[in-house]
Amino acid sequence: MSNLNKLDFTTLEVSGRNYLKWVQDVELHFTAKNLRPAIKEETDNPVGKAKKATSMIFIRRHIHDALQTEYLVKEDPRALWVALVDRFDHQNDIFLPEARHNWKHLRFQDLKSVNEYNSEVCRIRSLLKFCNETLTEEDLLEKTYSTFFTSSIVM
């Protein structure tokens, strides 16, 4: 009985905090199960009722209960997918200001080790890259050098 409730991956949260990962997981799963046409733009090959039902069940199982209730009237997986995209697909708008702020206020001495600093730089760089902003090697070096205490810099 416990296997019935076992999910393939985490559910989509009401806040949409895990939306990007959730979308990737669903699309990969649908591609593997040959269900992707059920959620994509209309194609020349219509999707059968069985595939639509399977897709709908899968999506509903992997969204939060509150979202299930809210989108209960959606009976087509494509319509549900579009509704979820409209609601949550604004992550760039949310992450870009935060990533810029984190980059601007990142200082080497605020972290305990070089590894922590490198990890934070990589995280911020990835977030900026996701938002279509790139950091060059010059930017990375300038940030590192400019955040040292002047007494710590050896010429």
pLDDT 10s digits, 7-61: 677 889 998 888 888 988 999 999 999 888 888 876 666 778 898 899 999 999 9
Q: Which two tokens stand for residue 84?
A: 């979820």
Within 10 A of 52 (CB to CB), how many other CB atoms are there?
A: 19
Q: For residue range 93-102, list pLDDT tens digits in order.
A: 778 888 899 9
Q: Phi/psi at 51 (nearest 5 deg)?
A: -65, -40
Q: Are 67 and 18 in contact (CB under 8 A)?
A: no
Within 10 A of 11 (CB to CB), how many other CB atoms are there?
A: 16
pTM, entire model:
0.66
